[in-house]
């Protein structure tokens, strides 16, 4: 198996790959000690039946540039095939602000093709390629050099089997006419908003039991400081302080180092220095926040009057429709969407795009009393009224 360690060799491979319909891509990275993922290996494979058209690219090799790979990503004549692409795409977007185009994600395609929710790569290898994957090297240190032969073999398998999986799913989508469904799902994956966390918006990810705007104002300032600190120093946000410590600090509202020292959940490193100063400044800013500038919790659904019987009927309809279509139910609509539809909401994802075709149209007709549901044995059927 070939390992590319120079820009010239990478350019030569990418030039050859540009003559093919697709290329499969995967990465190995580390993120335990950093905010941004550290790219340690890129695996690439052109169409073929063996390992001769597959390579490992070492981004840690001295002097190598990934620019030829990014040029290949921009080549719209070549489909770039990933499995569960989100973390891989984040790495490439952060590094070069580039998204592979066009993109094909076999995990998304497999969900649309009836393989279940968030199906794993090993499952697809077993069901489509009828073989297994040795995962013993999965959690090794990919930043250490030289890589072992077992590591190389494991990494290469992530793109060689992917060729057969892609061709199978591509053909299945063409036969079923569902390629557009996958394209709609991938729009989120290729949006910069998916990978950029603005510090002032980070508070929305913190789970709290209190929805008081005054409390949330402090949470917002603390979360913004933590996110900004973690991004600028490239450290995990939990290494600054964890969510439970953030919520505790918002409750305690410390204004002095002595008061900060009473926090039970704060890491020792956060009780002094830049982090401690940042915490006290954030709390002060949150306490001083004017009412008009305080964050407001989303209460759009608080006063919804959910019809429980209708919500139950929608669940039955969803089960019937997804079994008929061979699509994972949670891919269509979570329980919150069903409750929202039963309460009269019409701006939920289940009522737009391909989901509307599979489920949404009949869900609305059920709400309007135009159809009913009957059961015969294990089958649920729609009856026109």
Is it the case that residue 105 has pLDDT exceeding 70? yes
- What confidence score (pLDDT) does residue 299 get? 65
Which CATH number applies to 2-194: 3.40.50.1370, 3.90.1150.10, 3.30.420.10, 3.20.20.70? 3.30.420.10
Confidence band, pLDDT 50/70/90 cuts, at residue 141: very high
Average pLDDT over residues 29-40: 95
pLDDT grade for 134, boundaries at 50, 70 and 90: confident
State yes or no: pLDDT of 304 exceeds 80. no
Give a three-class secondary structure readout of the chain. CEEECCHHHHHHHHHHHCCCCEEEEEEEEECCCCCCCEEEEEEEECCCCCHHHEEEECCCCCCCCCHHHHHHHHCCCCEEEECCCHHHHHHHHHHHCCCCCCEEEHHHHHHHCCCCCCCCHHHHHHHHHCCCCCCCCCCCCCCCCCCCHHHHHHHHHHHHHHHHHHHHHHHHHHHHCCHHHHHHHHHHHCCHHHCCCCHHHHHHHCCCCCCCHHHHHHHHHHHHHHHHHHHHHCCCHHHHCCHHHHHHHHHHCCCCHHHHCCCCCCCHHHHCHHHHHHHHHHHHHHHCCCHHHCCCCCCCCCCCCCCHHHHHHHHHHHHHHHHHHCCCHHHHCCHHHHHHHHCCCCCCHHHCHHHHHHHHHHHHHHHCCCEEEEEECCEEEEEEC
Q: Do domains 2-194 and 199-293 have the same CATH topology?
A: no
Looking at residue 306, what is its pLDDT?
A: 87
Q: What is the pLDDT of residue 29?
A: 96
| pLDDT score of 235 more than 90 | yes
For residues 331-335, average pLDDT: 90
pLDDT of residue 143: 96
Please give the CATH architecture assigned to the domain spanning 199-293.
Answer: Orthogonal Bundle (1.10)
pLDDT band for position 301 (cuts 50, 70, 90):
low
What is the residue-averaged pLDDT of the chain?
94
**pTM given for the model:** 0.89
Answer yes or no: is pLDDT of 377 > 90. Answer: no
For the stretch 162-217, pLDDT in tens is 999 999 999 999 999 999 999 999 999 999 999 989 999 999 999 998 889 999 99
Where exactly are the structural domains of the chain? 2-194, 199-293, 308-384
The answer on pLDDT for 136 being more than 90 is no
């Amino acid at each position: 198996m070939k390992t590319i360690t120079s820009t010239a060799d990478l350019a030569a491979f990418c030039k050859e790959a540009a003559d093919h319909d697709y290329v499969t891509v995967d990465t190995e990275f580390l993120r335990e000690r950093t905010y941004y993922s550290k790219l340690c290996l890129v695996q690439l494979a052109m169409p073929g039946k063996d390992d001769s058209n597959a390579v490992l690219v070492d981004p840690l090799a001295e002097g190598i540039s990934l620019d030829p790979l990014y040029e290949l990503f921009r080549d719209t004549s070549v489909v770039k095939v990933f499995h569960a692409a989100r973390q891989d795409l984040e790495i490439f977007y952060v590094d070069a602000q580039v998204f592979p185009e066009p993109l094909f994600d076999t995990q998304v395609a497999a969900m649309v093709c009836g393989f279940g929710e968030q199906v794993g790569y090993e499952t697809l290898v077993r069901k489509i390629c009828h073989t297994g994957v040795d995962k013993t090297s999965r959690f090794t240190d990919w930043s250490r050099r030289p890589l072992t032969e077992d590591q190389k073999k494991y990494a290469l398998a992530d793109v060689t089997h992917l060729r057969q999986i892609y061709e199978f799913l591509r053909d299945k989508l063409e036969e079923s006419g569902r390629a557009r469904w996958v394209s709609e799902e991938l729009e989120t994956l290729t949006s910069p908003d998916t990978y950029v966390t603005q510090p002032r918006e980070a508070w929305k990810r913190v789970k709290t039991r209190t929805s008081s705007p005054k409390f949330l104002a402090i949470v917002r300032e603390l979360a913004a400081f933590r996110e900004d600190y973690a991004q600028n120093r490239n450290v995990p946000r939990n290494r600054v302080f964890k969510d439970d410590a953030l919520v505790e600090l918002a409750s305690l509202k410390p204004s002095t180092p002595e008061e900060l020292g009473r926090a039970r959940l704060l890491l020792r490193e956060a009780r002094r220095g830049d982090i401690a100063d940042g915490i006290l400044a954030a709390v002060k800013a949150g306490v001083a926040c004017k009412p008009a500038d305080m964050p407001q919790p989303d209460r759009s659904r608080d006063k919804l009057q959910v019809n429980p019987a209708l919500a139950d009927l929608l669940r039955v309809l969803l089960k019937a429709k997804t079994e008929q279509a061979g699509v994972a139910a949670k891919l269509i609509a979570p329980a919150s969407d069903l409750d929202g539809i039963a309460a009269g909401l019409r701006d939920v994802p289940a009522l737009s795009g391909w989901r509307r075709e599979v489920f949404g149209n009949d869900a609305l007709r059920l709400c309007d009393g135009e159809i009913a549901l009957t059961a015969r044995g294990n089958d649920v059927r729609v009856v026109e009224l």
